[in-house]
A and B are shown apart, each in its own frame.
Chain A
Amino acid sequence: AQSVTQLGSHVSVSEGALVLLRCNYSSSVPPYLFWYVQYPNQGLQLLLKYTSAATLVKGINGFEAEFKKSETSFHLTKPSAHMSDAAEYFCAVRTNAGGTSYGKLTFGQGTILTVHP
């Protein structure tokens, strides 16, 4: 079975500082990894996804993530935080071990990002 661990339930940064949100996965088969963002009272929006085409994935709003198989990690970064980045971020995994059930993602517990002026 696959699982996802997000280290740090809360991360606080200053505006303009580097954002680093950590995600480690556990999977016995090649994983497909996703980062989603959720703003208050809204659904989840995809930031980026890893589909094995490239280990460094660029997403929307200046975010990127690097897949490191040796470390089983898929950390999310952004060089310079903006006030509008304040939200909750979720890492998720899907594997083909689930057969053809592509609607099922396994999510981490989420990381709330706070950005200080």
Chain B
Amino acid sequence: KAGVTQTPRYLIKTRGQQVTLSCSPISGHRSVSWYQQTPGQGLQFLFEYFSETQRNKGNFPGRFSGRQFSNSRSEMNVSTLELGDSALYLCASTGGWSITGELFFGEGSRLTVL
């Protein structure tokens, strides 16, 4: 069974640009969540999508957005990049219907903003 796949793994952008990251969840999982990981702030929840609908959103500015497609694949977009957006962005999937269900994480997309 294939795991959570994130692309690209590494990318470098400059301030003001925008970036789109992609996540393919485990087959059959309908919930996809995104997290930002930085040395200073740790792991912070960005948003969750379930059946193409945003189910929850963390405390991030509107420059951070996401969407989910009918095949459960998800993308997140960051517009007008700032230096502070440099981070490891992790995608996680779960079935979405059980409070005890674990999250399965991808290897992340490491974004560097220059």
Contact = CB atoms under 8 A, between A and B. Distances in A.
Nearest to B10: A41
B70 interface: no
A101 B55 contact: yes
A18 interface: no
Contacts of A44: 90, 92, 103, 105
A46 B101 CA distance: 11
Contact of A102 (B43, B58, B94, B105): B94
A41 B88 CA distance: 9
- Interface size class, chain A: 20 to 34
A49 B97 CA distance: 17
A49 B45 contact: no
A41 B55 CA distance: 29
Contacts of A117: none
Interface centre among A96, A102, A103 (most CB of B within 10 A): A103
Interface of B: 4, 31-33, 42-43, 45, 48-50, 55-56, 58, 90, 92, 94, 96-108, 110
Given A43-B90, A103-B96, 7 more contacts: A43-B4, A102-B96, A103-B48, A104-B48, A104-B58, A105-B103, A109-B42
Interface of A: 32, 34, 36, 41-46, 49, 51, 90, 94, 96, 98-110
